[in-house]
Amino acid sequence: MISLTTTVITITTPPTTQRNRKLRRISCNHKHDNATYVDNVNRRNVLLSLGGLYGATTTTTAPGLSAAQTTATDHPGGPVQPPDLTKCHLATDAALQNQVYCCPPYSVETTTQIYDFKLPDPSEPMRTRRPAHDYGQQNLEKYKAALTAMKGLPLDHPWNFFQQAQIHCAYCQGAYGQVGYPDVDIQVHQSFLFPPWHRFYMYFWERILGKLINDPTFALPFWQWDDPVGMQFPDIYLDPNSPLYDVHRNLNHYKTLMDFRYARGDPNPNSSDYPKIEGMNLHLINRIFREGLRTPSTFMGEPVVAGQVPRCPGQLQLLHDTIHQWSGPETSPFWDMGNFNTAARDPIFFGHHANVDRMWHLYRNFNGGNVEFKTKDWLDATFLFVDENNRVVSDSLDAEKMRYTYETEQLKWWNIPKSSTRSTKKTEEALSAKSVVPVFPFGPSARVLNTTIRALVSRPMPSRSNKDPVSEVLIIDDIRIGDEQQPVRFDVYVAKPIDGNKADLSDLGEFAGSYVRVPHGHGHGNATAYPQHCLLIGITCLIEDINAEGCESLIVSMVPRTGDITIGTVEIQLFNDAE
C-alpha cells in the first residue's frame, strides 16, 4: 500500500475587490530591441505559480459577457476548490460516449494526507528546458531512461506513466464534481484555469522523472512549434524503438509542415507553400500576443468562479487544440493526442505543453510580470497533484521561483510586418460591381454554420467620460456542437466594409482566429452538461491593421471547417481587463 500526503497553501499577494479592472496602455505597434527573447524581468516575477490542480478564478466576468451557466445554484462564486478525492467517479470519453475510469490508484479514505506545498529551495539547481529539435543526445538519453523507469513502475503506483496520464483524464473528462457544486465538473480547459493547471502538471511530471534517475537538473524538452524549425514532429519522438514514441498519431503528418489553420482531413501542404504557411503561422502567434497583452481574457481564457461551467477558452488554448488535432489520428476515437481522455499517453503531449507553458512564460515577461487577474478568486483557486516525494499537492499563487526556466530562443514572430499588407488584397477601385454585395446583421436567431456566414457587426462606442483605454473583443456566443464526439473547427475573418455595409465576395478579409475543440467528455455520462460555448477574439490591433478605426461596423465572416456547429450571437464588446 502506498502512503500518500497532500497539501494546501494560502497566498501572500493581496487580492483586490475592484470590479472594473483597468487595462495597461499597450501599443499595437510594439517593437522589441532585438528578435531574441531576453529575461529582463526577475524570474521571481516571471515564474509565478498559480495553484496545483485547479488554477485560480475571478469573480468578475468580462464587461457585457454573460456569466457561464451553472446547474448547481443561481449564486456561484468564490475560488474553484480542489476536488474531494473520495468522490471521484466515472468520466466520459466523448469520442466513444463510453464511461472511463480515471480515478487515482490509491485509497484516499485511509492513505491520503494533505500537506502545504513547499516551493523548491532557492539553492536547488535551475532546470533549463531546451527545444526538442536541439535537445542534445545526452539529455535525450536521460529522458529515455527516466521514461523507461516511469513505465516500468507497478501499474498502481502514482508515478506510473499510465497513472500520470490519467490525471489529465480526470480533470478534463468530468471525473470530479466541484466541491459544493456536484453537478458542475471540474474542468481545466475553456477558461483562464488552462495555463496554471497545465503548468503544474508539467512541473511535477518533470520532477518525478528527475527523481527516477536521481538527476535534480533534469528538464523537459519543449516542442518549439512557434518557430519554423519546430513546425513539424520533432525527431526525438519518431523513433519506434524509443519510449518517447507513440503509435497513435497521424502518421501522414510525419515530416510535413504543421499549418495552424489545419482542420481534420486537410491534405498535407506542398513544400512550395511552406514559406507562406510559416509566415501565416508566425503572424497568428504575433496577433495572439498583441491582442492578449491588451486583454488577458483573450489570451488566458474567460474568468470563472466556483459553480460556473467554463465555456470560453483563450487563444492560447485554441492554438493548442489545433496542435492536438494535427498530432492525433483523423479517425475516431482520435487516440491519443486527439482526445483529452488519452492525450497524455503520448510523450509528445508533455513537449507540446512545455511550449504552451513557455508561451505563458513569455507572455508574463512581456507583461512585466504583472498578475493577469487581481481577484481573490483567481489567486486563491487550488489544485491537487502527486509530487516527486510521493505526495498529493495543492497550491495557490506564489511569487517564489519554481527552479525551472527556458533556454533563450529567437522569437521570429515578435517583430514582423503587419499581416494586412497582403499582395492579394484588392483596392476599392479595383473591385467590380458584381463582386460587391450588401451584408446584413447576424439577426436575432441562431444559425447553422454549414456554409460561410457573413455578418455586419456594429462596433460599440467608448464612453467619452472613460479615460481608461479599452479593447474591442469579438464575441461569438451560444456556440452549440451537434456532435461532441467529433473534432470541431470554424475560422473567423474580419474585413473593413465597403460603403458602410458591403463586402467583396472574393475576399474574406483578415484572418482573426478560430474556434477549435478537441473531443472531451463530461461527468456522470452527461454529454449535454456543457451545451453552449463561446469564442473571444481581441480585434483592437486588427482594426488598426486594416485601417478600420473610423468604421461604425465591421464585416465578420465565419467559415465552417469541420463539425456540426450552430452559432447564437455575434457581437463586438469593449473590454477593460486587469491591469
Residues classed as catalytic: 168, 189, 198, 320, 324, 340, 353
Q: How far is CA 247 from CA 29, 242, 250, 305, in A?
A: 44, 11, 9, 39
**First vs last Cα of the chain: how many Å apart?**
48
Amino acid of residue 60: T
Determine how many CB atoms are found less than 10 A away from the CB of residue 89.
Answer: 17
Task: Give CA torsion, residues 225, 226, 229, 233, to 10 deg.
Answer: 10
**Taking the CA of residue 37 as centre, how many other CA atoms within 13 Å lie in the half-sphere pointing to its CB?**
21
Cα 192 to Cα 188: distance, rounded to the nearest angstrom: 8
Dist. CA 560–CA 568, nearest whole Å: 15
In which element (H, E) is residue 474 found? strand 471-481
Specify burial of residue 8 (Cβ count, 10 A radius: 0-12, 13-18, 19+): middle
Amino acid of residue 58: T
- For residues 32 and 365, the answer to whether their CB atoms sit within 8 Å is no
Query: Within 13 A of 14's CA, how many CA atoms are on the CB side?
Result: 3
CA dihedral 439, 443, 446, 452 (to 10 degrees): 0
Whole-angstrom CA distances from 382 to 49, 175, 375 are: 11, 17, 14
Cell triple for residue 549?
A: 478605426
The three-state (H, E, C) secondary structure of 347-400, written as one string: CHHHHHHHHHHHHHHHHHHHCCCCCCCCCHHHHCCCCCEECCCCEEEECCEECC
Q: Write down the residue that cell numbers 485509497 correspond to.
A: 107
What is the C-alpha to C-alpha distance for residues 478 and 496, in angstroms, rounded to an integer? 25
Phi (first) and psi of residue 125, to 5 degrees: -65, 145
What are the φ and ψ backbone dihedral angles of 127, each rounded to 5 degrees?
A: -85, 125
Ranges of H-type helices in 77-193: 108-111, 137-151, 161-172
Task: For 507-535, give one letter per residue: b (16+ CB within 10 A) or e.
Answer: bbbbbbbbbbbbbbbbbbeebebbebbbb
Judge whether 102 and 173 are in contact, CB under 8 Å: yes
